[in-house]
A and B are shown apart, each in its own frame.
Chain A
């Protein structure tokens, strides 16, 4: 009974570092996933909000920290209502834009301005969504009866993030580490769990070396992979560049409006090769090249974070992350998407294995959050970026 009397104190007193525990099983995840799949098909996809909630409930309640499990308290109805609101906004804006285009003509400056306005509006909504979705999940996560939340406003975060995104474009992507560090810092420092705020001081400077190495490796690997794929296609005769150019030239001169069988074969070969080089070549180059930057980013973020008296460390190595990404990609492709629960298991095991938590959280000092619970789900993010869970 001795341990139980210090309730709220350290569950395992002798350990100075600890991990999250995940004990979900693949079989149980598949039970949930398969029923979701059937109901999704029956309801032409509208069930997806309840489906996502069912998966989250399972995953949350199988993650425990200091001996107590998380609980997910969100509902499918909340997600669905959030989605409907975003749908309303976007439909309203696009109807307005279409009406303006009809009235003013496609070449008038008004039409072009509203078209740009619409694009900005959507980008802005996605940025706001990153904030509001995090807020929704925090307010719907319970640990020992205490939940989280975010202070500050998603709308003003969206404005600031939109400004930084424009800056990122102007810098031709070179500001990427700086911009992402800023955004992560903003969101993290507005995040609370119970009466404690997460503190993060992520600095972009130390990320730059890894960033440039990853960019260089990604570009080099892209060149190698795309070169190899097109080279193999060319030597095996699949890719007939001369034939394709001849066809383009004939088209430009207005001869031969419809391609014959031979030309059709040339075009199909060209398109398939281009598609393969894009998907496989760039895709794998990205997986292999970007993992180094990603692990550096994780390590820096974990090292710069503090929650109450807890400190964090990321042990994720580049090889392990490549293994996770590559494995997930291959499983997803080979199983035609039906391996999704395997992806969830692998990802959670990876997080649990590689996130080290130093210190013990004193539960008695962590009181209930006073942040308001939003009434709607992450409709904004749901509409544009389905995400993993």
Chain B
């Protein structure tokens, strides 16, 4: 500061050396600093006292990477958003301050760690909230689905059923439909009679069946082609009925909507959220499938029918399924071996269909076709 050429050079480059802003008006005071006891005195050009800061409470605000100048603020100025700043160039009077408060030389490390600590706190908090959500939301969705009158499912169920039916033509072999509906009525527990149960057979080669909200059940021709006895079809129908009985379609709908909304927003709609949603969705389905298997077998037994059809059908799927791409823990349905073991029942009880009925079911979409090997996801 005592060398006039140095200061004029700094000025021409657009930078002064040691400066003080008082936070009241936009003036850059050229200053020098001295230390008196526990105070830092900021003196103007004429030696007048501009400010006095307690040494112990001075904070480093910023360190410029290009010229090494550091900006300091008095105690609490940052928290209150005040603008009082002292900017000290490298060396010179700054060494006076650093002799008393050596840690003020390391703005970067201090500030960065403080930011990281805050960030880490929020990350842990958000992770904890998400974990809480992850574990409680299925429970909440289940209770909500149980508490909801079945009739409330009708609007959403109707539109989902229409979406399914628009995919492919349906089958209307009269005797076959009657046989299937008779079986369904025999299996269905009383509480799911309202809204009325419906069954649609879709003329598609997929080996699959679905339970939709609103007591709608959809079964694909491929599944009937694949089955070798009426009891296997009955096992699958009982499984779908069990989904209805346990209110799974509604629970699934609530979970998908809720999770989709939260994850998309939390992660800013990135691709990561979709993956998260699928993973979460899969685990719910696994648990629900196992419950539906058990309940389905119960329904068959309560109706006095042979209850080994589901296990037999799973066994038929076996060889193709084992070559699947997804490992068991990822796949939407519990491992086949586990499911076969869980649904194993003695071959006692009545057959679901007599020979005539079974022939009619096989021909529900016209001439019975030979089963083709198809991927399934029952």
Contact = CB atoms under 8 A, between A and B. Distances in A.
**Same assembly:** yes
A4 B168 CA distance: 84
B175 interface: no
A145 B51 CA distance: 14
Highest count of chain B CB atoms <10 Å: which of A57, A62, A101, A145: A145
Interface string B31-68: 00000000000000100000000000000011011100
Highest count of chain A CB atoms <10 Å: which of B1, B21, B25, B84: B25
A3 B11 contact: yes
B25 A363 contact: yes
Nearest to B156: A102
A107 B156 CA distance: 10
B97 interface: no
Interface in B168-193: 168-169
Interface of A is mostly: mixed
A44 B25 CA distance: 43
B71 A71 contact: yes
Interface size class of B (residues with CB under 8 A): 35 or more
Contacts of A98: 257, 261
B180 to A, nearest CB: 23
B280 interface: no
Interface stretch (A7-15, A169-177, A212-220, A224-232): A7-15
Contact of B28 (A61, A103, A363): A363
B7 A4 contact: yes
A103 B158 CA distance: 13
B159 A106 contact: yes
Interface residues of A, number: 72
A94 B1 CA distance: 63
A46 B126 contact: yes
A46 B123 contact: yes
B26 A146 contact: yes
A43 interface: yes
A178 to B, nearest CB: 32
A266 B376 CA distance: 28
Contact of A368 (B14, B24, B66, B261): B24
Interface in A57-100: 57-58, 61-62, 64, 66-69, 71, 73, 75-77, 80, 87, 90-91, 94-95, 98
Nearest to B168: A257
Given A3-B11, A11-B11, A67-B14, A46 B257 contact: no
A90 B264 CA distance: 11
B4 interface: yes
A44 B267 contact: yes
Contacts of A61: 62, 64
Contacts of B319: none
B64 A69 contact: yes
Interface string B229-262: 0000000000000000000000000000110011
A236 B322 CA distance: 43
A142 interface: yes
27 contacts: A1-B45, A3-B7, A4-B7, A4-B11, A4-B45, A7-B28, A7-B29, A8-B27, A25-B65, A25-B66, A43-B123, A47-B123, A50-B115, A50-B116, A50-B118, A64-B15, A95-B258, A95-B261, A103-B152, A104-B155, A106-B156, A142-B85, A145-B26, A146-B21, A257-B168, A364-B26, A368-B23
Interface of A: 1-5, 7-8, 11-12, 21, 23, 25, 28, 39, 43-48, 50, 53-54, 57-58, 61-62, 64, 66-69, 71, 73, 75-77, 80, 87, 90-91, 94-95, 98, 101-108, 139, 142-147, 194, 254, 257, 361, 363-368, 373, 383, 386
Given A2-B8, A94-B261, A146-B23, 16 more contacts: A1-B7, A4-B16, A4-B45, A44-B272, A45-B267, A46-B123, A47-B123, A67-B15, A68-B28, A80-B122, A95-B261, A104-B155, A105-B156, A142-B83, A363-B28, A368-B83
